Amino acid sequence: MEDCLFCKISAGETDTDFVYQDDQVVVFEDINPQAPVHLLIVPKKHIADLNNLQPADNELIGNIYQVAKKMAAEYDIAESGYRLVSNCGDDGCQSVYHIHFHLLGGRQLQWPPG
């Protein structure tokens, strides 16, 4: 996808440092962190948003949850707790239309979200 920021980042075309990567996903720190731990888990495959998720993507999404669990342990927030969230659309405050999952932790998060 031309002009997709997360396609460029996940392809290694920027100077973004990956804290994890495998054949399907990359993980990097959010440029504007909202918590002491704020990672973005991004599939290399371009999927614009949750509305465009297909049944064929089920394994990918399952793997993303496994990566989230692994990263939570590595960042020492597995026991204290964390949130994995994917914003969708305008009301969901999605700003980058390449599906991704925020892993947030390291402080007491609030509920309901704003």
Of the residues 38, 98, 100, 102, which is catalytic?
Answer: 100
Q: Which is nearer to Zn ion, 2 or 90 (CB)?
A: 2
How far out from the chain centre does Cα 46 lie? 13
The binder of 1, among ligand 5GP, Zn ion, none, by C-beta within 5 to 8 A per type, is Zn ion
Sorted by sequence, the CB contacts under 8 Å of residue 80 that are 6+ apart come out as 105, 106
Look at residue 95 and give the partner it binds from ligand 5GP, Zn ion, none, a contact being a CB closer than 5 to 8 Å depending on partner kind. ligand 5GP
Select the binding partner of residue 101 from ligand 5GP, Zn ion, none (C-beta < 5 to 8 A, by kind).
Answer: none
Q: Which whole-number Å values give the CA distances from 50 to 1, 35, 53, 70, 102, in the listed order?
A: 17, 24, 5, 23, 14
- CB of 72 or CB of 103, closer to ligand 5GP: 103
Is there a catalytic annotation at residue 100? yes
Q: Residues with catalytic annotation? A: 100
